[in-house]
A and B are shown apart, each in its own frame.
Chain A
């Protein structure tokens, strides 16, 4: 797909504006979703993705030509792009959609594919680095779907990423059930980040000020020829069943007898 092996890297980082991870969410009374009138911030896994792209530039210097961040979301999602720009990305694309429940991963993946095809002429995307999952819908799918649509390599749940731009390959370590796996991916490729890939930086005030001047391109789904109408029907959103916990015991002896009553005794 990439004829010239030695080239400068263009990195695309999709980010999502989510309900902040520390917010205790509430299901709305109509049972159509959760109360979104709360603090939002960048999806934590996406922060790790932005950080990794910026660190790649720190390591590879001029071999990283551009870091572009993209978001699909309501007007307020621009703030999320600004945060990413303050962390070190160069420019942003905001695909604006109305407020409300976000699109499905398949729709997002198709939008990202359309953006990548649009960029092909000026700055062909070599790497997409994105979070492994958004902490709101917990779908864990968009990166894999994008790689599938593009027909490129994918590596999910990264905890280590080493890129050799000259050879056009990336060596990665990914987290799997029970351990880790090492893979080698030919670029272009899609990578999704796990928590342990890095520790995202805080944007400093000068960087935040500078980020205000960085360009953000506004697009609509129709500009890209994509339809973000959900295919799955959400019938309702409900509270999970409440646990009847909250019982305290006074001593280890009491704990042991409680365990024994419940049928838990020593096996060894």
Chain B
């Protein structure tokens, strides 16, 4: 298998001409993102999307020398992958797009065997993928929620206007490489069950990057990660301040084992950290249960959560738009209702 995929790489120019004429079966390259020794769940969803193209899927792991080893071991076990490429360099430890893009340009540039490049719609990919697409002189399709592949090209759906319309777009078969990013909540995560080989990919050294990474500061939390949590409780402007946000939302999150989110109003007012914002400009979540507390439900917020399975809303204002999407809406003062709910939920254990 190892020798075969390197053969594809080396005879890529030949293959390319043929691919073009007969629309041979797709071969997707999936970027597998990782953090703290774990594969990002959104990348597992991207892998599932890639397998839906119906062709071969190769995984790509990029990272620093201390990071890649364990990730590659995990990636090799993923179902759906044909092989795993990995590339390691000190420069890839906290990479910026200026440093990662050249490696991908080389891999996907003229003569490449890959017909598709797939990544999660993460903040890192949002920075990297368009730069890469421009370098390759092709468009890209971000944040897709479904896809299908035929001889005419690859067709995607993606939300536009903050999720208030769904565009169906086709990347024509004539594009040498179709690049897209995947909305993590729209696809199931790829499961374990594979056993494939790994292959080293030489890093491309960037000697004079115009951008230098200085520091990454992550918000520490023991709770489930917001983008991947099956339950989310979210607070809005009605929480008054950071203290009441914490004292009201945390017991509810604890009793439900939920991640905490926030509306833009709550984040802007400093009640909660930026990274907790749910909405068009923040995170898009689609948990099993979404509890909106003191959130009116502006369209920008709904864009980030309306694909949740069950939506519960607690709000004083009976006319708040959130009630139009809620499966269970309670018109009540949240300072009475939420503690009461916490107590009564405890009895359901």
Is there a chain A Cβ closer than 8 Å to B4's Cβ?
A: no
Question: Do B164 and A25 have beta carbons less than 8 Å apart?
Answer: yes
A136-B160, A245-B325, A267-B256 are contacts. A181–B139 as well, Cβ < 8 Å? no
Contact with A along B145-187 (1 / 0, CB 8 A): 0000000010100111111111111111001000000000000
Question: Do A186 and B344 have beta carbons less than 8 Å apart?
Answer: no
Question: Do B134 and A138 have beta carbons less than 8 Å apart?
Answer: no
Q: How far is the CA of A241 from the CA of B123 in the complex (A)?
A: 27
CB-CB nearest in chain A for B336:
A252
Question: Do A240 and B164 have beta carbons less than 8 Å apart?
Answer: yes
Partner of B281, one of A19, A195, A243: A195
A residues 37-75 in Cβ contact with B at 8 Å: none
Is there a chain B Cβ closer than 8 Å to A177's Cβ?
A: yes
A139-B142, A233-B169, A262-B310 are contacts. A109–B217 as well, Cβ < 8 Å? no
Stretch in A76-84, A115-123, A142-150, A214-222 with 4+ CB within 8 Å of B: A142-150
For residue A104, give the distance in angstroms from its CB to the closest CB of chain B. 5
Q: How far is the CA of A153 from the CA of B312 in the complex (A)?
A: 44
Question: Do A145 and B133 have beta carbons less than 8 Å apart?
Answer: yes
B residues 332-348 in Cβ contact with A at 8 Å: 332, 337, 340-341, 344-348
Is there a chain B Cβ closer than 8 Å to A213's Cβ?
A: no
CB-CB nearest in chain A for B174:
A231
Majority secondary structure, B binding face: mixed
Question: Do A27 and B165 have beta carbons less than 8 Å apart?
Answer: yes
A residues 141-194 in Cβ contact with B at 8 Å: 141-149, 152-157, 159, 171, 175-186, 189, 194
Question: Do A138 and B330 have beta carbons less than 8 Å apart?
Answer: no
Question: Do B160 and A146 have beta carbons less than 8 Å apart?
Answer: no
Majority secondary structure, A binding face: mixed
A149-B134, A154-B131, A159-B274 are contacts. A246–B326 as well, Cβ < 8 Å? yes
Question: Do B326 and A247 have beta carbons less than 8 Å apart?
Answer: yes
Question: What residues of B have a CB within 8 angstroms of the CB of A237 in the complex?
Answer: 160, 165-168
User: Which of B211, B213, B215 counts the most chain A CB atoms within 10 A?
Assistant: B211
- How many residues of A are in contact with the other chain, CB < 8 A? 82
A136-B160, A138-B161, A144-B131 are contacts. A249–B329 as well, Cβ < 8 Å? yes
Question: What residues of A have a CB within 8 angstroms of the CB of B89 in the complex?
Answer: none
Q: How far is the CA of A197 from the CA of B188 in the complex (A)?
A: 34
Question: What residues of B have a CB within 8 angstroms of the CB of A235 in the complex?
Answer: 155, 168-170
Question: Do A249 and B328 have beta carbons less than 8 Å apart?
Answer: yes
Is there a chain B Cβ closer than 8 Å to A260's Cβ?
A: yes
CB-CB nearest in chain B for A251:
B330
Question: What residues of B have a CB within 8 angstroms of the CB of A264 in the complex?
Answer: 231, 256, 288-289, 310
Question: What residues of B have a CB within 8 angstroms of the CB of A202 in the complex?
Answer: none
Partner of A135, one of B122, B162, B328: B162
Question: What residues of B have a CB within 8 angstroms of the CB of A21 in the complex?
Answer: 300
Question: Do A246 and B348 have beta carbons less than 8 Å apart?
Answer: no
For residue A6, give the distance in angstroms from its CB to the closest CB of chain B. 18
Question: Do A185 and B340 have beta carbons less than 8 Å apart?
Answer: no
Partner of A148, one of B101, B215, B255, B300: B101
Question: Do A266 and B327 have beta carbons less than 8 Å apart?
Answer: no
A24-B299, A195-B264, A252-B344 are contacts. A259–B328 as well, Cβ < 8 Å? yes
Question: What residues of B have a CB within 8 angstroms of the CB of A181 in the complex?
Answer: 213, 215-217
A183-B214, A245-B325, A245-B326 are contacts. A260–B126 as well, Cβ < 8 Å? no
CB-CB nearest in chain B for A177:
B123
For residue B334, give the distance in angstroms from its CB to the closest CB of chain A. 11
Partner of B211, one of A27, A184, A252: A184
Question: What residues of B have a CB within 8 angstroms of the CB of A34 in the complex?
Answer: 161, 165
Question: What residues of B have a CB within 8 angstroms of the CB of A266 in the complex?
Answer: 255-256, 345-349
Is there a chain A Cβ closer than 8 Å to B98's Cβ?
A: yes
With contacts A176-B216, A182-B217 known, what are 8 further pairs, Cβ within 8 A? A180-B274, A186-B211, A196-B267, A230-B139, A252-B344, A259-B328, A264-B289, A268-B257
Those 10 A-B pairs whose CB atoms lie nearest each other, nearest first: A153-B210, A141-B130, A145-B134, A267-B257, A148-B134, A144-B130, A148-B131, A179-B218, A245-B325, A265-B348
Q: What would 26 A/B residue contacts be, using CB atoms closer than 8 Å? A: A109-B134, A133-B281, A135-B280, A138-B159, A141-B142, A145-B130, A145-B131, A147-B131, A153-B210, A154-B211, A155-B211, A157-B126, A177-B122, A177-B123, A177-B227, A178-B219, A178-B225, A183-B212, A184-B211, A185-B212, A186-B210, A239-B165, A245-B329, A249-B329, A258-B327, A258-B328
